[in-house]
A and B are shown apart, each in its own frame.
Chain A
Amino acid sequence: MEFKVPTMAQMIADGETPEILFWVGCAGSFDERAQKITKDIAKILHHVGLKFAILGTEESCTGDPAKRAGNEFLFQMQAMANIELLNAYDIKKIVTGCPHCFNTIKNEYPELGGNYEVIHHTQLIQGLIDEGKLKASNGEFFKGKKITYHDPCYLGRANGVYEAPREILQQLDADLVEMKRCKTNGLCCGAGGAQMFKEPEKGDKDINIERVEEALSLSPNIIAAGCPFCMTMLSDGVKHFEKENEVQVLDLAEITAKANGLS
Chain B
Amino acid sequence: MQIRCPMILQFLFLVLLIAAAGLFAKNISKIRRNILLGRDLDLSDQKGLRWKNLLTIAMGQSKMATKPIPFLMHLCLYVGFVIINMELIEIVIDGLAGTHRVFAPMMGSLYNFLIASFEWLAFLVLFACVVFISRRNLIKIKRFNGTEMTKWPKSDANYILVIEILLMSAFLTMNAADAKLQFLNVEHYIKAGSFPVSAFLQNILPNDAASLIAIERTCWWFHIIGIFAFLNYVPYSKHLHILFAFPASYYGSLNAKGKINNMQSVSNEVKAMLDPSFVPVQTESPGRFGAKDATDLNWKNLLDSYACTECGRCTAMCPANQTGKLLSPRKIMMDTRDRITEIGKNVDLHGKDYNDNKTLLDHHITREELWACTTCNACTEACPINLDPLSIIIELRRYLVMEESAATASLNTMQSNIETNGTPWKFANSERANWTN
Contact = CB atoms under 8 A, between A and B. Distances in A.
Given A73-B402, A76-B267, A198-B408, A56 B262 contact: no
Nearest to B290: A70
Which of the four size classes fits the interface of chain B? Answer: 35 or more
A76 B272 CA distance: 12
A148 to B, nearest CB: 17
A71 B413 CA distance: 13
B433 A57 contact: yes
A59 B431 CA distance: 11
A14 B304 CA distance: 55
Interface string B414-436: 11001100111101011111111
A76 B262 contact: yes
B270 A57 contact: no
A74 B374 contact: no
Contacts of B376: 153, 157, 188, 192-193
A34 B153 CA distance: 47
Best-buried of A31, A35, A76 by chain B (most CB within 10 Å): A76
A168 interface: no
B319 A71 contact: no
B259 A108 contact: yes
Nearest to A112: B262
A15 B429 CA distance: 26
Interface stretch (A129-137, A200-208, A255-263): A200-208
Contacts of B319: 187-188, 190, 207, 210-211
Nearest to A104: B258
Which of the four size classes fits the interface of chain A? Answer: 35 or more
A23 to B, nearest CB: 12
A201 B324 CA distance: 9
Contacts of B274: 77, 80-81
A195 interface: yes
A69 B401 contact: yes
B381 A70 contact: no
A72 B263 contact: yes
Nearest to A158: B258
A195 B374 contact: yes
Given A70-B407, A76-B262, A198-B408, A157 B257 contact: yes
A29 B433 contact: yes
A237 interface: no
Nearest to A102: B258
A39 B317 contact: no
B260 interface: yes
A90 interface: no
Interface string B183-220: 00000000000000000000000000000000000000
A29 B423 contact: yes
B407 A203 contact: no
Contacts of B326: 201, 203
A107 B325 contact: no
A188 B373 CA distance: 11
A174 interface: no
A127 interface: no
B410 A197 contact: yes
Given A66-B418, A111-B262, A157 B320 contact: no
A63 interface: yes
Contacts of A7: 433
Interface stretch (B126-134, B341-349, B392-400): B392-400
Contact of B374 (A42, A78, A203, A207): A207
B23 interface: no
A82 to B, nearest CB: 9
B368 to A, nearest CB: 6
30 contacts: A1-B436, A1-B437, A29-B423, A29-B434, A30-B431, A39-B435, A42-B436, A57-B433, A66-B424, A70-B398, A71-B415, A73-B266, A74-B419, A103-B259, A108-B259, A108-B262, A112-B267, A153-B374, A157-B381, A160-B256, A187-B319, A188-B374, A191-B374, A198-B411, A201-B320, A201-B327, A201-B372, A203-B372, A205-B323, A207-B320
List the 9 closest pairs (A to B, CB-CB), nearest first: A158-B258, A204-B324, A193-B375, A70-B397, A60-B422, A203-B324, A70-B401, A188-B376, A107-B259
Interface of A: 1, 4-5, 7, 24, 26, 28-31, 35, 38-39, 42, 54, 56-57, 59-61, 63, 65-74, 76-78, 80-81, 103, 106-108, 111-112, 153-154, 157-160, 184-188, 190-207, 209-211
